[in-house]
Amino acid sequence: MLHLTQTRLSTVLLTQDINTKRVLLQGNLKDGLYQFFDPSADCSNKATVQAFVTSRRPPNHIWYLRLGHPSISALQQIMKNHLKMSSTPVQFCSICPLGKHHALPFNISQSSSSHVLELIHTDVWGPAQVTSHDGFNYYIHFLDDCTRFTWLFPLKNKLDALPTFITFKNMVENQFSTKIKHIQSDWVGEFRSFKPFLDAHGIFFQHSCPHTHEQNGRAERKHKHIIETSLTLLAEANLPYKFWYDACATSVFLINRLPSRILSDISPYQKLFQQPPDYSILKVFGCACYPYKRPYNAHKYQFRSEKRLFLGYSSIHKGYKCLSKTGRMFISRHVLFDEDEFPYSTLFQNTSVSSFPPVVPHSIITINSGDQGSAPLPMSSVPSASFPTSEPSSLSLLTILLLTAATY
């Protein structure tokens, strides 16, 4: 039996047995929440939990889900090297074949740049078969050839590709104090419009021959990895296709944190920022979450949280994206998670998709800025929601996405 003991006003202990008094977790009060730390964990690797989390799954399974169904070797490396946990074998995953059971034929180029931003691969994906719940139809990604780090941006239409690239260019050149030297892309309409801008800024434009998009192989393979991972995330959480961008953004966030064989088994994040990512912040996509909303209550006698849908990691506030059943998105650092429950069908069963208001990113509390790996357009560009009149089931949406992925 577990016992929760408050030793001082600011400290609680969670002990396993009243006789042995073995301490499982110890927590300190901070910002109105008890933050628990695993006494057996190595504190130097930051493997502390942000908030009290329960799960009935074995540790290797819960980390497999938090990391977005990675390869077994990537899972084992992260558990051994960063979480200091032993990994037991993962059984056959019945979700992975839904998202990953096909392959695109590519010749893998082994060329690699030696400096950050020396070569950026880019491509646009879309149109999605269903507009995302926050009004987007495409995404554009930028892949740094040296570090394999990827940035993802949503687009309403392909004409937004160039202004989004200019935003990206200004951001990364300022952050990393170096200039983009080359751009590699397909020679299609949205990228032909890049040429005058690239010429004016001294950026060499490498593009594939017309109708031979296979020459843009590295960007194409990144599409495949993003789409397959996002399909798996949607299938695991039983979410409909209108959440495709949230799933893609979360996939990029996770892929940037997975060890890569081509980088000698470190992650793109570590290659770019010269330090390992903090894995303790990861939670299972699509699970139930309870953000702390007391600062926004008008009165003290109001519930301090409510069940919401966890939709990934904010790119601008380093908090968690929590969708309410009214369709309102909150971004909060202080969130409790039930990673065993995928609440979409119960939370939204009586909600008409067309009755959702526009998604309003709503920052509650921010924490240290840093890499995010996926960045939405500025707030002012977040459009009104646009929903299909009927919502296909997850499985039919998976089929649609698979077909779409195969054409890009």
Instruction: Tell me which residues touch Zn ion (CB under 5 A).
Output: 69, 93, 95-96
The nearest distance, CB 260 to Zn ion, in angstroms, is 18
Cα 183 to Cα 174: distance, rounded to the nearest angstrom: 18
State which residue, 93 or 400, has the beta carbon closest to Zn ion: 93
State which residue, 97 or 163, has the beta carbon closest to Zn ion: 97
Cα 304 to Cα 294: distance, rounded to the nearest angstrom: 5
State which residue, 18 or 72, has the beta carbon closest to Zn ion: 72
Q: Which residue's C-beta sits nearest to Zn ion?
A: 93
State which residue, 55 or 366, has the beta carbon closest to Zn ion: 55
Structure tokens at 32: 């109105």
Residues paired with 323 in a beta bridge: 309, 329
User: At CA 159, angle to CA 162 and CA 169, rounded to 5?
Assistant: 15
The nearest distance, CB 239 to Zn ion, in angstroms, is 15
The nearest distance, CB 197 to Zn ion, in angstroms, is 41
Phi and psi angles of residue 381, each rounded to the nearest 5 degrees, phi first: -95, 0
The nearest distance, CB 277 to Zn ion, in angstroms, is 21
State which residue, 30 or 101, has the beta carbon closest to Zn ion: 101
Cα 361 to Cα 263: distance, rounded to the nearest angstrom: 35
State which residue, 93 or 316, has the beta carbon closest to Zn ion: 93
Amino acid at 297: N
The pairing of strands 288-291 and 308-313 is antiparallel
The nearest distance, CB 245 to Zn ion, in angstroms, is 21
State which residue, 33 or 95, has the beta carbon closest to Zn ion: 95
State which residue, 33 or 93, has the beta carbon closest to Zn ion: 93
State which residue, 50 or 60, has the beta carbon closest to Zn ion: 60
Q: Cβ(340)–Cβ(57) under 8 Å?
A: yes
The nearest distance, CB 268 to Zn ion, in angstroms, is 21
The nearest distance, CB 343 to Zn ion, in angstroms, is 20
State which residue, 93 or 365, has the beta carbon closest to Zn ion: 93
The nearest distance, CB 314 to Zn ion, in angstroms, is 25
Nearest Cα residue to 130 out of 393, 394, 391: 391
Q: How many other β-carbons are positioned within 10 Å of the β-carbon of residue 389?
A: 7
The nearest distance, CB 361 to Zn ion, in angstroms, is 30
Cα 274 to Cα 381: distance, rounded to the nearest angstrom: 33
- Give whole-number Cα distances, 216 to 124, 154, 163, 165, 346, in Å: 12, 20, 21, 17, 43
Q: Which residues, other chains included, contact 315 with Cβ-Cβ below 8 Å and sequence gap of 6+? A: 249, 372, 373, 374, 375, 376
The nearest distance, CB 97 to Zn ion, in angstroms, is 8
The pairing of strands 53-54 and 335-338 is parallel
Helices of type H across 82-153: 96-100
State which residue, 236 or 338, has the beta carbon closest to Zn ion: 236
The nearest distance, CB 77 to Zn ion, in angstroms, is 17
- Structure-derived torsion over alpha carbons of residues 224, 158, 162, 329, reported in degrees to the nearest 10: -80
DSSP string, 257-279: TS-BGGGTTB-HHHHHHSS---G
Q: How many other β-carbons are positioned within 10 Å of the β-carbon of residue 201?
A: 12
Instruction: Characterize 161-179 residue by residue with b for buried, 16 or more Cβ atoms within 10 angstroms of its Cβ, and e for exposed.
Output: bbebbebbbeebeeebeee
